Amino acid sequence: MLIFKKVLLLFVFFITSFFTSFSQCTPDFIYTSIGVPGVYPPSIQIPNLPVPTGISEGNIGENYNQTITVIIMQDTTLDVSSFLPPSAVTAMNFAGISTVMNVGVNHITFDIQNLPNGISYQCNSSNCEYQSDADGCIKITGVPLEKGTFPFEVNMTINIQIPSISGILPAMSVDIPSFSAQNYDLVINDVTTINEINHISNIYPNPTSSEFTVNVNHPKNISIYNNLMQLVYSKNVINNITINKTELGSGVFIIKVSDKNIIEKYKLIIK
């Protein structure tokens, strides 16, 4: 009975891990309704295609969320000579058979390179692999840790099915070498660009070795992030609130004080 329970627990853990390992994004209907294979949003305006372009900007210390929609082609036409043995290409040329042919698309695999620190991606399909004629999405999320403009690429590897040619070539599947399907510039703004000069609230003492007080002049939300930009404290306050070191520990923290009209950010040091 004990062994059965252990096996059952392992099975539940595996199933839970399997399903939670995928992104919870949804392909954008604006792009799926077009039905044209590709990676969306486009980085530049496509002629005669009035759709949103580019991706949203982010801020240091704030959650970033961007969905990339992928629409997978069903088949394509290309010259397959570079994927075949030289002897097969010679035999096809001798027989007058063109190496430019229709090939099926088995699946396409995506990956993203050069995202900034704190940002990662996850697909809504295992290993970011999509079968032909499908719609999918890639969710780019995280809390950026550095400012700047970060160019990154969405790369894809296409696995094609080359049909058999009697007496010359059996059916075979091969990967077209990975290439960039879309290029984006992700802009991450510094916290100092958001109301850094005209602070309305106040935090004291800072640095502190015990407790500190956040003083606000009307109801606001207080969010505190540690040095890994993880949210460690969040509360809605009306005016003043005192927070003890025991609630946060020691280190350097970013405190965000916000309402619907304004965002203030402070650096707090707890010794």
Point out the domain boundary residue: 173, 189, 205: 189
Q: Are residues 171 and 215 in the same domain?
A: no
**Cβ atoms within 10 Å, residue 59:** 20
Is 2 among the domain residues?
no
Q: Which of 93-97, 171-175, 198-202, 226-230 shows the lowest mean pLDDT across its residues?
A: 198-202
Length of the chain: 271
Q: Using an 8 Å Cβ cutoff, are 100 and 77 in contact?
A: yes
6 is a domain residue: no
For 180-225, how does the pLDDT look when each residue is reduced to its tens digit (9 = 90+)? 999 999 999 876 434 443 456 788 898 999 999 998 878 889 999 8
On whether residue 10 sits in a domain, the answer given is: no
Query: Is residue 15 a part of any domain in this protein?
Result: no
Question: Does 7 map to a domain?
Answer: no
Overall average pLDDT of the 230-251 stretch: 90
CA angle 65, 66, 72 (to 5 degrees): 145
**Residue 6 DSSP class:** H
Has residue 69 been placed in a domain? Answer: yes
Do the beta carbons of residue 259 and residue 200 sit within 8 Å?
no
CATH number for position 155: 2.60.40
Phi, psi of 81 (to 5 degrees): -60, -35
Collapsing DSSP to helix, strand or coil, 78 comes out as strand
CB 95 within 8 A of CB 166: no
As given in the structure block, the two tokens for residue 31 are 């792009």
Question: Does 98 lie in the same domain as 212?
Answer: no
pLDDT value of position 136? 94
- Give residue 149's domain range: 21-189
| Co-location of 104 and 160 in the same domain | yes
